[in-house]
Amino acid sequence: MPYIYHAFGLTIQSEFELPELIPGTGDPDVSIRSGRVPAQLDYARREHFRFQSRPGRLLLKIDHIAEFLISDGREIVVQVMPSAEPESVRLFLLGSALGAILHQRGILPLHASAVRVNGECIAFCGASGSGKSTTAGVFVNRGYELIADDICAVALDAKGQPLVYPEYTQLKLWEDSLNQSGQDPAAYSRVRHVLDKFKVPAGQGGGMEPVRFRKVYVLSPGHENRIAIHPLEGMARFGAIRDNTYRKKFVDGLGQSLDHFKTVSAIGKFVPVYRVDRPRKPFLLEELADRLEHDFMESCQENGS
Amino acid sequence: MKNIVWLASYPKSGNTWLRVFLANLMTGESKPFQINHLSRIIPGSASRAAFDGELGIDSADLDYDECDRLREGYHRFVAGRTSATLFYKIHDAFSFLPDGTCIVPRDVTKGAVYLVRNPLDVAVSYANHAAIGLDQAIDWINREDACLFGDRRRPHTQLRQRLLSWSGHVRSWTERDWGFEVHVMRYEDMKQEPETVFTRTARFIGMDAPTGRIRKALEFSDFKELKSQEERKGFAEKPMHCRSFFNQGKTGTWRTVLSAVQVRRIVERHGEMMDRFGYLEDGEPVY
């Protein structure tokens, strides 16, 4: 019997058990199955070192772990390599492979972690290592509900307004980040046994219904020694969303440039975006959280919500 | 096709200076090249952003050895996509992995420029760079297992780079014939006879240029210019705790900074390589 899950507003049927996702019911939008994956993608429009793409298809290879063929936003074929650990296969399946499904379906995966505030989505995006999960984690500790970690799925409603589709029940945090928030890494299991990165459960209580996209904070660690929040306008706002697209290099080869542009533009139009400067070290995590919390609570009140 | 030129060095040996010089020579603008755009023209071979873009995953989800095994193929793939010459900065020692792969794909390597600098000054400069004490900096250049970005507890913007010790690094790039030519540049000669030394390097990498252009590129990559750009706009490649990336840009700083014991710790450990590159005369440090 295949497993059925819900994530990113999709019903996913899988031959593999995926404990990271929330169990569900119903007719699947996406099916994940084991099978043979071709060595090359025929008629590839873009060829990269470890992935190839053309409209509707993406072939992704992860040496010694798994190869994935992702088709038409509907199917992921997984060829698991001998001796690959299931956790490792799942990490890339639920990461890049599902990310490709979202791109193929015209859903924008923003490279962000997000929490629910007054029923709306506050997202933290930024490059790898910018502190997305760590920042979302501190809000989870403060009682907010996690709605996305690493991939924040955004789609437009009938009026062209961006909505966020909640997903995960866990955060992936590096050892340093756990230490910063006073948590003991030994309490959690590793994302992969070779990495000092841990799976931290962060309960899903608020359901899977899409939520309004309230604000985006682009985390930008740098040389500054203090925290500063700057609103981004116009092209800078558009550019920040475009640049923080999860697996941005998938877009063009998949023939999704137009859909991607539309969603990015809609977010730029409806959702305030801020750049958050903070020192890379020390992280100033609690201070950062205080500042952000003050900022988003204030605007939620102004909004009357 | 062999189209990669490596600008290889142990850290703090003049690599950035050479990159800025080459960037100015390549672009030939009437204004100095902006140092914060350097990685667009001559990227670091260990940049995670570029690597991840070719892998289609977040390489932080791979461990350091898994990343190392991919680097040779990654560079070969990127080189194969163009007929242009590609320049990369590289701080990794020239070394092989247990499975026989190398970080550097020799079959597509056109050549390498290897920059070497007196380790006594490297230690002083590295102490500033990493904001650590001189003794710690000496420990680091003496360690056979020294790495850049080797801390596993958090993700980094660069891949882990194995350096070996200072001697190990120099030996790895210069002692054996790896099937491509290695052009050695000494930092001290770059300072003393810039025009001759940089002209020779430009010729080696196939960028022979008239003296006027070499002089212009040297003027635009002069230490004062780099320092002033950093003071005005900062330098993206500066580590967090380091006060300024372009610190002194001099030779012989060690004479006023290192104690006799500290000098001895370096000379005892690296005497053989120091002697080979002219940093010792009758067992005593010169420069």
Q: B193 to each of B132, B188, B209, how far by Cα in Å?
A: 31, 9, 17
Average pLDDT over residues B57-75: 96
Other Cβ atoms less than 10 A from the Cβ of A82: the count is 5
Q: What is the pLDDT of residue B246?
A: 87
- Using CA atoms, how far apart are residues A109 and A142, in angstroms rounded to an integer? 26
Residue A59 phi/psi, 5-degree rounding, is: -115, 125
- Using CA atoms, how far apart are residues A271 and A162, in angstroms rounded to an integer? 8
SS3 (DSSP) at B198: helix
- Using CA atoms, how far apart are residues A282 and A180, in angstroms rounded to an integer? 10
Per the CB < 8 A criterion, the answer to whether A58 and A250 are in contact is yes
DSSP-derived secondary structure for A103-161:
HHTT-EEEEEEEEEETTEEEEEE-STTSSHHHHHHHHHHTTPEEEESSEEEEEE-TTS-
Q: What is the pLDDT of residue A304?
A: 43
Q: What is the pLDDT of residue B249?
A: 84
| Residue A279, token pair as written in the block | 């020192």
A23 pLDDT band, cuts 50/70/90, is very high
**Inter-chain touch B57–A95, beta carbons under 8 Å:** yes
User: Which DSSP symbol is given to B102?
Assistant: B
Rounded to 10°, the helix B211-220/B15-27 angle is 130
Q: What is the pLDDT of residue A300?
A: 58
Per the CB < 8 A criterion, the answer to whether A250 and B56 are in contact is yes
pLDDT at A204 over 80: no
Q: What is the pLDDT of residue B113?
A: 98
Q: How far is CA B158 from the centre of its chain?
A: 14
- The mean pLDDT of chain B is 94
- Using CA atoms, how far apart are residues B87 and B43, in angstroms rounded to an integer? 7
pLDDT in tens, A119-141: 999 999 998 888 999 999 999 99
Average pLDDT over residues B121-127: 96
DSSP helix, strand, coil percent of chain A (3-state; round to 5):
30, 35, 35
B239 pLDDT band, cuts 50/70/90, is confident
Contacts of B49 in chain A (CB under 8 A): 127
Substitution target in B54, B61, B62, B238 with the highest count of A β-carbons within 10 Å is B61
Q: What is the pLDDT of residue B107?
A: 96
pLDDT at A53 over 80: yes
User: Which residues are A145's β-sheet partners?
Assistant: A116
**Inter-chain touch A127–B49, beta carbons under 8 Å:** yes
**Inter-chain touch B155–A174, beta carbons under 8 Å:** yes
Write out the residues of chain A at the interface with chain B, using a CB-CB cutoff of 8 A: 48-51, 60, 62-64, 91-92, 95-96, 127-129, 174-177, 179, 191-192, 194-197, 223, 247, 249-250, 279-281
Rounded to 10°, the helix B15-27/B223-233 angle is 90
A225 pLDDT band, cuts 50/70/90, is confident
| Residue A269, token pair as written in the block | 């139009």
A88 pLDDT band, cuts 50/70/90, is very high
Cis amide linkage into residue A282, ω under 30° from 0: yes
**Inter-chain touch B153–A175, beta carbons under 8 Å:** yes
pLDDT at B245 over 90: no
Burial label, B7 (beta-carbon count in 10 A; 0-12, 13-18, 19+): buried
- The mean pLDDT of chain A is 92
> CA-based Rg of chain A, rounded to a whole angstrom?
19
pLDDT at A302 over 60: no
Chain A residue whose CA is closest to B59: A128
Q: B150 to each of A209, B22, B64, B147, B159, how far by Cα in Å?
A: 42, 29, 8, 6, 8
From the list B251, B186, B85, the residue with the least C-alpha distance to B198 is B186
Write out the residues of chain B at the interface with chain A, using a CB-CB cutoff of 8 A: 48-49, 52-58, 60-61, 63, 66, 69-70, 73-74, 77-78, 152-157, 234, 238, 240-241
Q: Which domains does chain A have, with CATH numbers?
A: 3-104 (no CATH), 108-302 (3.40.50)
Q: A282 to each of A132, A138, A180, A196, B181, how far by Cα in Å?
A: 16, 15, 10, 20, 44
Q: What is the pLDDT of residue B205?
A: 94
pLDDT at B187 over 50: yes
- Using CA atoms, how far apart are residues A54 and A63, in angstroms rounded to an integer? 21
Distance (Å) from the alpha carbon of B31 to chain A's nearest alpha carbon: 26
**Inter-chain touch B58–A95, beta carbons under 8 Å:** yes
**Inter-chain touch B54–A91, beta carbons under 8 Å:** no
Contacts of A247 in chain B (CB under 8 A): 56
Rounded to 10°, the helix B166-174/B260-276 angle is 10
A51, A280, A281 member nearest B56 (Cβ): A51
| Residue A68, token pair as written in the block | 């994935």
| Residue B110, token pair as written in the block | 């056109």
Beta strands of chain A (E only): which ranges?
Answer: 3-7, 10-14, 22-23, 30-34, 46-47, 51-54, 57-62, 66-71, 75-80, 108-117, 120-125, 145-148, 151-156, 162-165, 170-174, 189-190, 197-201, 211-222, 228-232, 273-279
- Using CA atoms, how far apart are residues B64 and B86, in angstroms rounded to an integer? 24
Distance (Å) from the alpha carbon of A159 to chain B's nearest alpha carbon: 33
Taken as a whole, chain B contains a residue count of 287
- Using CA atoms, how far apart are residues A116 and A214, in angstroms rounded to an integer? 10
**Inter-chain touch B154–A174, beta carbons under 8 Å:** yes
pLDDT in tens, B7-56: 999 999 999 999 999 999 999 889 999 999 999 999 999 999 999 999 99
pLDDT at B155 over 60: yes
Least confident of A72-81, B249-258, B259-268: B249-258
Q: What is the pLDDT of residue B241?
A: 74
A280 pLDDT band, cuts 50/70/90, is confident
Q: Which pTM does this prediction carry?
A: 0.93
Chain B residue whose CA is closest to A98: B57
A181 pLDDT band, cuts 50/70/90, is confident
Distance (Å) from the alpha carbon of A47 to chain B's nearest alpha carbon: 9
- Using CA atoms, how far apart are residues A51 and A69, in angstroms rounded to an integer? 10
Residue A150 phi/psi, 5-degree rounding, is: 80, -45
Q: Which residue has the higher pLDDT, A283 or A82?
A: A82
- Using CA atoms, how far apart are residues A237 and B248, in angstroms rounded to an integer? 39
* Sequence-ordered list of residues with C-beta below 8 angstroms from that of B81, at least 6 positions apart, any chain: none
Residue A212 phi/psi, 5-degree rounding, is: -70, 145
Q: Which residue has the higher pLDDT, A162 or A1?
A: A162
Q: What is the pLDDT of residue B274?
A: 97
Distance (Å) from the alpha carbon of A52 to chain B's nearest alpha carbon: 9
Distance (Å) from the alpha carbon of A300 to chain B's nearest alpha carbon: 33
Average pLDDT over residues A56-85: 97
Distance (Å) from the alpha carbon of B74 to chain A's nearest alpha carbon: 6
Q: What is the pLDDT of residue A67?
A: 98
Establish how many alpha carbons lie within 13 A of residue B25's alpha carbon, considering only the half-sphere containing its beta carbon: 24
Q: What is the pLDDT of residue A205?
A: 66
Average pLDDT over residues B143-165: 93
**Inter-chain touch A49–B58, beta carbons under 8 Å:** no
Q: What is the pLDDT of residue A305?
A: 42
- C-beta pairs of A81-84 under 8 Å, 24+ apart in sequence: none
**Inter-chain touch B240–A247, beta carbons under 8 Å:** no
From the list B267, B87, B272, B264, the residue with the least C-alpha distance to B174 is B272
